[in-house]
Chains A and B, each alone.
Chain A
């Protein structure tokens, strides 16, 4: 496949970026999108040019590191996949592909396509944990009976890999799907109820401080989430927040 790539290039966080055009040739339809970018970077290095900086790590869809807004969609076309799981066969020979960083005030660009997603870490630090006894007397989690229905929903919420596609897809750059998944994974379990009140209040407060937008229920986040995190979690977070607010 021969492709034209329009890629956002930006030297550093303070530099003014812009779109630049590159050509790549003889790309296998079976290669992954990140492999295609690797080929482009080899080409740029051989030409003595600066390679394109982009995030990646596990390349098997579980680490949440790869990002990229591809042709106007986070992780490109297709449902339930990360960019590393996107294959070039999803495109046609001769296509022009737009590659941009995830855009949000709370995800500032570090370089080219790499954005700083530590705002998610700070939301997690604000309450995305449970306090457990680590003195050797920790109760076996399996000894606490949990309804199958709740265990399944908590697990579904816990599959969030924190990639930020929800923020990138949302027209308001809202982080409510991420935050609600992190609230829900504990809210549904007895171990998480102990700190439920402070958790939701602190995590939402941090989410707002980071400058994410407000959710307007477009549902774009749910559809673009590589793990299919449901909007049901946002409704649960809203309920948890209301309950916590009147306590």
Chain B
């Protein structure tokens, strides 16, 4: 069994599965965040539910954290191993002749997303954990919208968020269809998966950019 876990295909499939899980999470995150554009009450309601529901907090959240950490750690492991597989580099290597920039630079778009996650956690997740589980402050179901909007008053933060979403789009442009291929899904529906992937990779980050800009311009 350990041989199977150590195999290149097991690593590839696990990378694909964690990516598919994160793709679903991103869509859910966008839907919740987009409600803040539509109505403050709706966003507060969604956030209060997500922030207090035991299933979300103590089952889904740990799974999500594991998924994120696993995806990043495995990404770095694969990058190191792949670099070792070509110990002497080419003098001339024309990668652009046969593959997309996005597919060859997933590690770099991934590193930018990791850096963004650091900022995002500093902005929202750590204060939230502190509020609930360190300071044990009384729950106020109407606090979420104000906390969100306050963060987007800062133009530097808005620029950093938008820049990170551009790299997220680049990552997804290859990552969406790649995750399907990795888990062995390649059949007559694959062209549809590719097209859906392109739409997803542009619309999801664009949605996040829109939310950040909406709250920034609303605050002016």
Quick check: B97 and A73 within 8 Å, CB to CB?
yes
Q: Is the interface of B mostly helix, strand, loop or mixed?
A: helix
Query: Scoring B residues 176 to 189 as 1 if CB is less than 8 Å from chain A, else 0, what string do you get?
Result: 01100111111100
Within 8 A of B (CB), among A9-68: 19
**Inter-chain residue pair count (beta carbon < 8 A):** 133
The verdict on A214 contacting B93 (CB below 8 Å), with A205-B3, A205-B7, A231-B181 known, is no
Complex Cα spacing A103 to B91, Å: 10
Within 8 A of A (CB), among B76-128: 78, 81-82, 84-95, 97-100, 103-104, 106
- Measured CB to CB, the closest approach of chain B to A200, in angstroms, equals 9
The verdict on A73 contacting B106 (CB below 8 Å), with A173-B85, A216-B82, A239-B184 known, is no
Quick check: A223 and B12 within 8 Å, CB to CB?
no
Q: Is the interface of A mostly helix, strand, loop or mixed?
A: mixed
Quick check: B8 and A217 within 8 Å, CB to CB?
no
Contact with A242, one of B13, B92, B186 (Cβ below 8 angstroms): B13
| Chain B residues with CB below 8 A from A205, complex form | 3, 7
Contact with B9, one of A19, A103, A218, A238 (Cβ below 8 angstroms): A238
Q: Does B4 contact A (CB under 8 A)?
A: yes
Quick check: A213 and B12 within 8 Å, CB to CB?
no
| Chain B residues with CB below 8 A from A86, complex form | none
Quick check: B13 and A218 within 8 Å, CB to CB?
no
Contact with B91, one of A6, A215, A217 (Cβ below 8 angstroms): A6
| Chain A residues with CB below 8 A from B187, complex form | 232
Query: Scoring B residues 1 to 45 as 1 if CB is less than 8 Å from chain A, else 0, what string do you get?
Result: 001101111111100000000000000000000000000000000
Complex Cα spacing A79 to B8, Å: 28
Quick check: A213 and B184 within 8 Å, CB to CB?
no
The verdict on A169 contacting B98 (CB below 8 Å), with A204-B9, A235-B181 known, is yes
- Measured CB to CB, the closest approach of chain B to A6, in angstroms, equals 7
The verdict on A211 contacting B85 (CB below 8 Å), with A100-B91, A216-B103, A219-B103 known, is yes
Complex Cα spacing A6 to B90, Å: 12
Q: Does B171 contact A (CB under 8 A)?
A: no
| Chain B residues with CB below 8 A from A234, complex form | 181, 186
Complex Cα spacing A103 to B93, Å: 10
Quick check: A216 and B98 within 8 Å, CB to CB?
no
Q: Does B71 contact A (CB under 8 A)?
A: no
Which single residue of chain B is at the shortest CB-CB distance from A18? B91
Which single residue of chain B is at the shortest CB-CB distance from A10? B88
Most buried by A among B92, B177, B183: B92
- Which residues of B come within 8 Å of A, CB atoms? 3-4, 6-13, 78, 81-82, 84-95, 97-100, 103-104, 106, 174, 177-178, 181-187
Complex A-B, nearest 9 residue pairs according to Cβ-Cβ distance, in ascending order: A72-B94, A213-B85, A235-B186, A172-B82, A239-B184, A218-B99, A72-B92, A218-B103, A238-B184
Given contacts A71-B92, A208-B7, 20 further A-B contacts (CB under 8 A): A73-B94, A73-B98, A103-B86, A105-B85, A105-B86, A106-B85, A169-B98, A171-B82, A171-B93, A172-B82, A173-B86, A208-B8, A211-B84, A216-B106, A217-B182, A220-B99, A223-B97, A232-B186, A239-B184, A241-B7
